Amino acid sequence: MTKITKELLLEKGTPKCSNLGQIKKINLSNLNLKTSDFDRKLFSQLQTLEELDVSGNLLTEFPNNLGLTNLRLLNCANNKLEQITTLNQFKNLEDLNCEDNLYLTISDMYKVMYLLPNLRQLDGKNITSKANNLKFVNSQKLMSQVTNFWEKYCKIQFSELPTAAEISAIKKDFVKSAIAEIKYGPNSLKEFTKWRVKTIATEFVNSLLQQDKQRSSDAEENEDEEKMKANLTDVLKHSSVAMSSTRSTRPFTARDTTKSRKQVISEVSKKDTEDISRKSMKIQLGKERQSAQMAKYPNKASRVDMKTKPSTTKRDHSATPVVSKESIPRKRPKYKKTLVLEPLHFLQSHSRNNNPEDLSTQLWACAFEPEIKNSQIPGLVSSQSVATCGGDSVCIIDCETGIVSHKYKSVGEEFFSLAWTTLPVFDNQKRKFNVLAVGGKMGVVKLIHVKVSYCYGMIKAHKKAISTLYFSPKHETFLFTGSYDKTIILWDIGVPDNDYNFRVSRLLVLKVCSTPLKMSLVPTFPDQYLLAACEGGCFAWDISLTNYDSKRNIKMEFLFPVCNKENSKSDSLAFCNDDLVVENYLFCGDEKGDIWMYDLDGVTDEEMTSGKKTPPTQILKWPAIKSQGETVEGTLINNVTTDPECNYLVAVTDQNIVVIWKRT
């Protein structure tokens, strides 16, 4: 039998070093180790350990409190494990192998999927979708059953509403009864279901007791609520949320809608106009065209998009910029190069029936394909490929050559929005591929594996048209869909297997008082708050999935001083500041075809929140272009985007023209 010593760990670890704190990977397989052989004090020194192999040993359970906070991969296959709930100490674990442990059941596997928030790979299979369904959908249904069971239980036990003392007295009996009576799922998962019911029932009773305590401390609760509102408002102010709207650009205040939500919805509903299908809108020539369209259809106001050039600091390529909770003075760079952009291509890539005279198809959205780093698949570095949508087609364009490399058409559809995400290959967590989600008039989200030009899935997301799509930068399978049915839905689209089979779960439904037009998670709280620019204003929701309520109302409304409150609309938003970047630009398109550029590195946080108008750094004028021998006048810019390094700028317009600028 081998004894675990510092010398053994150094010998089995890599890279080779004399300090346990520098080891990234250790192989302790096939050493006949027992659970009692693990020295907690010794293992707690492995602060940078990311991979641990203890397969082929004699472990009956995994030692608790080992202090391996950075562990990403654990191989404990071919042991004698009897339970694995102690693995919940490894909150950052992404890849786990528990194969060939005779005493482990399928319920044990489900427990570990529930307990480990970042687990993506289990026994060589991607379990992202299954784990999310387990954590959220399964928990919501069990919570509903526990609530219903409590109501029946109370009718039997009490003639009136029970007091806190009475609830405490029956707590143990209620939990025991719930475990015995509540049934859910297949018989093979009975043990797991009982384990979850016990947890949920206990939490439920504790919440009832807590509510009783809260009723006796209303003043303290109100104070906490005000702090929460002030905290979120402060975060958003310091995050410099850029808004595109018909409002004046003055500082905003946050208003809690929890207590007066009906009143707020009533007020906004008076301003709501009848939903107008984008397809039914006709292009009219004349000076009044732009103002009339924007008045009828606020989604046609100029869009705002902000891209930043990342610093050398290591970060996930899909991560939202980190925003400090406290206001950090913005430092002006010592050497600043002016961003010079020249027109490169003008494309009519969305013409109906390939008609070169089509100057009426409206283009709505554009977004650069994310770059896949450290990919084993050649040719997937794609920062100069941009996706555009409008009419019945979606195009992937190479910005350098102007060539449409891929085109997807759907007869009868009119695409309004798109969003990219990067998913792991089903049987290889280290390999990645990009997926493009598109949606429009039919209310259906289509998932496209662009590299192979294959639409592998469709999600009937809404009964009305989809107005906006947004992928979570933290959870690659989480997709928010906004619609003209005045809802925002959070979906888990899962990871497709090798045959493109995938599982979709609906996690949350957010109620909106008007059509959502643009969404963004708060960078400092990506698991807690979602913001949306809507026809009726700017709103925030609590999206934390630890709350079992699958339907949420507006948590907060952001009020802006406006000249004409009846025409107060928020069309777009973007978080601007990121104190870790080298370049930081904001681009806005207008109704004349011009692009307004703001260099945010030259603007302090105090200036951003002062309420004073910030002049543009420069304006890219609509160039003189001709189509079929006729001059095309400046037209409404519906969306603007740049690649992460600002090498290319792309705008889509109201007249079937994609404009590409290149940095010189």
Percent of the chain at pLDDT exceeding 70: 76
Burial 445-475 (b: 16+ CB within 10 A, else e): bbbbbbbeeebebebebbebbbbbbbbbbeb
DSSP 121-187: EETTEE-HHHHHIIIIIIHHHHHHHHHHHHHHHHHHH-SSPPPHHHHHHHHHHHHHHHHHH---S-G
- Please tell me the predicted confidence (pLDDT) of residue 20: 92
Task: Tell me the pLDDT tens digit for each residue of 441-469.
Answer: 999 999 999 999 899 999 999 999 999 99
- In the predicted model, is pLDDT for residue 321 greater than 50? no
Query: What does the block give as tokens for 419?
Result: 């969003």
Does residue 318 register a pLDDT over 80?
no
pLDDT digits (tens, 9 = 90+) for 533-559: 999 889 999 999 877 788 999 999 888
Question: 435 forms bridges with which residues in the sheet?
Answer: 421, 449
Pick the range with the lowest mean pLDDT from 88-102, 234-248, 406-420: 234-248
CA nearest neighbour of 99 among 86, 88, 108: 108
pLDDT at 523: 87
Residues 6+ apart with CB under 8 A from 576: 239, 240, 241, 242, 306, 584, 586, 600, 608
pLDDT tens figures, 550-604: 899 999 988 876 545 555 567 777 776 543 333 678 888 888 999 998 887 767 7
Give the range among 197-201, 329-333, 454-458 with minimum mean pLDDT. Answer: 329-333
Alpha helices, H only, 216-368:
218-238, 261-271, 289-296
Higher pLDDT, 134 or 285: 134
Q: Look at residue 181 and tell me whether its pLDDT is greater than 60.
A: yes
Q: What is the pLDDT of residue 373?
A: 66
Predicted confidence (pLDDT) at residue 289 exceeds the cutoff of 50: no
Minimum mean pLDDT among 245-259, 416-430, 615-629: which range? 245-259
The pLDDT value recorded for residue 279 is 30
pLDDT of 338-392, one tens digit each?
A: 688 999 999 999 998 888 888 999 999 999 999 876 444 444 444 799 999 999 9
476-498 pLDDT, tens digit each: 999 999 999 999 999 999 989 88
The whole-chain average pLDDT of the chain stands at 79
- Give the contacts of 72 (CB within 8 A, at least 6 positions apart): 50, 51, 92, 93, 94, 95
